[in-house]
Structure 1
Amino acid sequence: MLHAGAVVDHSPLPPIGRPPGAPADCQARHLVLSVFRWHRGDPGDPAELLSGFLDDNGLPVRNLGRTGDKKQTIGDGTICGAALYVSADAGSVMAGGVIGARSPVPGIPDVYAVLYGHASDVMPIKDISGGAVQPWSLGPWRDSWTRAEHAHAVEQVRAAIGRGDVYQVNMVGHASAGYTGDPAPALRRIAALSGARYGGVLTGEGWAVATASPETLVEVRDGRVVTRPIKGTRPATAEGRRELLASAKERAEHVMIVDLERNDLARLPGTGPVRVDELFAVREWSGLWQAESVVSADLDGDVGLADLLRAVCPGGSVTGAPKLAALAQIAALEPVGRGVSMGGLGWIGPGHLDLGLTIRTVAVDGHRVHAWAGGGITADSDPDAEVDEAAAKAGPLRAALRGR
């Protein structure tokens, strides 16, 4: 049975990189069986439509806590699993929040799932163009706001916090640059950045997304659901580590998001007690220290994919608290849509789910490269420091795209 937005496509998309989160034992053997697409403005509940598509095509997602690891079959192929991407806009729709400015990459669906089978032979990784005439060249970056405009948005968030409208809001800026040549090697450099837990590339018709995300939006495995929020950044130096560990502001911001994530998991039906397994652990990502916590709960009842996505999307570390109030601030203040950033991207298999948060993520649309970066704003935020932090997060992406 096909659902709205679903198409059957037995021609494999260009394998320019491994799908994020795909199991290691089936690398380079991904054969496309069918594709699901949902765009902002399309009718229907995207979480339910996606669940129906996957479940009806042989990938059980109605009870994630009790799925086994047995391979499913469809037609003549064995189902490996599905790559899944959910945009920030789709997450806002699922959560019942306000959606903001439209994506600068409108050709990329807001929900995109590719159901894969196993090809009989290894499929070699190729470039998008099959050999571009022009060498890869990246033009100058064009930012969605100036430093002064970004700093002013920070001040507006601080004013909203002072009024009691919100406790914390994540502000994100967008930048794009024109390019010539084949972007595939540059996208693979992004996916290979140090600390990329979800490094990979997802390709569609006329577009591609590459991520170096270190952050787990949600993972379900062996009857347990886990999220790993990251909040707090410093340069990866000895002094930067000391500053991060000693910062009362960063720790308060981080704990606020951990509490939000605990609440998100507690909303799931049939979950056991939610616990914080690790708090404010400092880890490195491509020249930056970042603080990460681990929040988990046992899945004791029937929890489906739709329930899970509604509970955790969009991720608390890239929205703020309370989440719906933060989404309203984001919609009012950010001049350019978040596009592929601040959403979820990863893998659903017959026995597990693992979605990374699409921070440290770029997209290409045939003409331009798009990237996003930002940070959490609290009452104690310094506007200039917040602008500098966003630039620091974008730096490794821009360097990788240029080939450095």
Structure 2
Amino acid sequence: MAGTREVTGDRARDEKLRQELLKSEKEAAEHVMLVDLARNDLGKVCELGSVKVPIYRKIVKFSKVQHIVSKVVGVLKQSADSFDVLEAVFPAGTVSGAPKIRAIEIIHELEEVPRGPYAGGVGFFEKDEADFAINIRSFYATEAKLYVQAGAGIVADSQPEFEYKETQHKASALLGALGVR
């Protein structure tokens, strides 16, 4: 998932935002970069030539936002297991950036507060399978505070005001669940 517009509840406005999302060169470039990162990450643990993108740049609508979504799949190497997959893909490029290793270093240098569960994996292991998702919107509590976490992808063409507003739209579903508007 990379590329976001709000959902307003107005069908015509939402369709206009959907079209804007699909036509945006910035969003397309960011999405292509992140699909390539995912392909590269999976390529480390999948059979040579098996990594595919069966769903590419589909718009998926949620309660407060709509996203460009792609699906990257591959056939796991005989020598790899679910733990190897998690190690290869986390943190995902969608929450770290590219080049991945340097982007993670910069995140550690610049972010004043640890991410906690944000950008980590949420899922389960069973005997012969695992299913995990990236924790991109969450809240968690400590004894004294409640943290609401959401983010936006920053690229060279990003406009800070737009990215901030995008983060607010993403967090609004969480805040709504808490009765905060």
TM-score normalised according to structure 2 size: 0.90
Q: Read off the aligned partner of 1:354 and give its amino acid letter.
A: D
Structure 2 unpaired stretches of 5+: 8-13
Query: Hey, what's the Cα distance between the residues in 2 that align with 1:403 and 1:378?
Result: 30
Say whether residues 1:304 and 2:75 are aligned partners: no
1:34-113 equivalences in 2 (<5 Å) = none
Alignment CA distance shift 1:304-1:351 (3 Å): closer
Say whether residues 1:331 and 2:105 are aligned partners: no
Residues 352-400 of structure 1: CA distance to partner in whole angstroms, max 9, x if unpaired? 2100111111112343211112111111111111111111111111121
The alignment partner of 2:130 has SS state of strand
Question: Is the CA contact (8 Å cut-off) linking 2:53 and 2:72 kept in structure 1?
Answer: yes
Which stretches of structure 1, 4 residues or longer, exceed 4 Å deviation after superposition? Answer: 269-272
Say whether residues 1:285 and 2:62 are aligned partners: yes
- Structure 1 residue 332 displacement after superposition: 1.7
Residues 83-111 of structure 1: CA distance to partner in whole angstroms, max 9, x if unpaired? xxxxxxxxxxxxxxxxxxxxxxxxxxxxx
Q: Read off the aligned partner of 2:69 and give its amino acid letter.
A: E
The alignment partner of 1:375 has SS state of coil
Aligned to 1:147: none
Question: Is the CA contact (8 Å cut-off) linking 1:270 and 1:303 kept in structure 2?
Answer: no
Question: Is the CA contact (8 Å cut-off) linking 2:64 and 2:170 kept in structure 1?
Answer: no
Aligned to 1:35: none
Question: Is the CA contact (8 Å cut-off) linking 1:262 and 1:295 kept in structure 2?
Answer: yes
1:1-400 equivalences in 2 (<5 Å) = 230-236=1-7, 237-268=14-45, 270=47, 272-400=49-177
Alignment CA distance shift 1:262-1:296 (3 Å): same
Residues 30-73 of structure 1: CA distance to partner in whole angstroms, max 9, x if unpaired? xxxxxxxxxxxxxxxxxxxxxxxxxxxxxxxxxxxxxxxxxxxx
> Could you tell me the percent identity over the aligned residues?
39
Residues 189-230 of structure 1: CA distance to partner in whole angstroms, max 9, x if unpaired? xxxxxxxxxxxxxxxxxxxxxxxxxxxxxxxxxxxxxxxxx0
- Structure 1 residue 283 displacement after superposition: 0.2
Higher helix share: 2
Which structure has the higher relative contact order (CA within 8 Å, separation 6+)? 1
Question: Is the CA contact (8 Å cut-off) linking 1:249 and 1:380 kept in structure 2?
Answer: yes
Question: Is the CA contact (8 Å cut-off) linking 2:46 and 2:75 kept in structure 1?
Answer: no
TM-score normalised according to structure 1 size: 0.42
Select the structure of larger CA radius of gyration.
Answer: 1
C-alpha RMSD over aligned residues: 1.6
Q: Read off the aligned partner of 1:258 and give its amino acid letter.
A: V
Higher strand share: 1
Alignment CA distance shift 1:298-1:289 (3 Å): same
Structure 1 unpaired stretches of 5+: 1-229
Residues 15-43 of structure 1: CA distance to partner in whole angstroms, max 9, x if unpaired? xxxxxxxxxxxxxxxxxxxxxxxxxxxxx
